[in-house]
Amino acid sequence: MSWSAPFPAKHRTEQAPGPKGMIGKHILWALVAAGVALAGGELLAQDPKTAQGVAPPYRQSFGDLMTMAIQPRHVKLGLAGQQRNWAYAAYELRELQGAFRRLGQAVPVYHSTDMTALIEATTAAPIDDVAGAIKSADAAKFTEAYAALTATCNACHQSTDHAAVVIQVPHASSFPDQDFSPQRP
C-alpha cells in the first residue's frame, strides 16, 4: 500500500520508484531540516525571557496607584460615613491608611519629593480627625473631618503639579454592587 492509498485515485500521483522519486524525497527532507534549523536559530537569537514568553514586569505609575488604591478607599470611606456605617467607615479608614503606606513604599520619591514624608505630614491630622468622628459616631464631625481630608488631597495634588486632579466628597456611589448602609443583626 502506498502513502496515497487513503486518497481517491483521481487525486493520487503515483511516482515510479527510482532516482527521480528519491531526489524529491531528499529535497523535501532537506527543506524540512532547513526550516527547523532556521526556527531554532531564531529562538536562540532572542532574549531568553522573551523566548519563554515571560513579559517584563509591570510597574504601576504613581497615578495608577492613586486611582487603584487611594481613590476607591477615599470614596468608600465617604459613603460609609454618609450612611453612618461606622464599623465599615473604620474599616475603610484603616484600608486608606494602609494604601497610603504602600504607596509610599512603592514610590518613595516622586519628582524629587519624599512621598512617605509628604503623605504622613499632610494626612496625619485629617485622618486622626476622621478617626475621632468615626469612634464617636458623630455624623456632623465626620462630614467636617472628611471634607478637610478631601481638601488635603487637593492641596497635595496642587503641590505635586497635579492641580487638574480635583477630589470631591462623593455624591453617589461608583460601587453599585455594594450596600454602604449599616447592617442590622
Please list the pLDDT of the chain residue by residue as tens digits (185 residues). Answer: 555 555 455 555 555 555 556 666 667 676 766 666 666 555 555 555 555 678 888 888 889 999 999 999 999 999 999 999 999 999 999 999 999 999 999 999 998 999 999 999 999 999 999 999 999 999 999 999 999 999 999 999 999 899 999 999 999 999 999 999 998 87
Half-sphere exposure of 72 (CA within 13 A, CB side): 12
pLDDT confidence of residue 26: 65
pLDDT confidence of residue 43: 52
Q: Dmax over Cα atoms in the chain, in whole Å?
A: 100
Helix ranges, 52-108 (H): 62-65, 71-82, 86-106
d(CA 108, CA 116): 6
pLDDT confidence of residue 59: 84
Neighbouring residues of 119: CB distance < 8 A, sequence distance ≥ 6 = 100, 103, 104, 156
Q: E-assigned strands of 36-173?
A: 109-110, 113-114
**Residue 38 to residues 24, 35, 41, 161, Cα–Cα distance (Å):** 21, 5, 5, 53
Answering whether pTM is above 0.85, one says no
Give, to the nearest 10 degrees, the angle between helix 139-159 and helix 115-135: 170
Q: What angle do CA 171, 60, 94 make, to 5 degrees?
A: 50
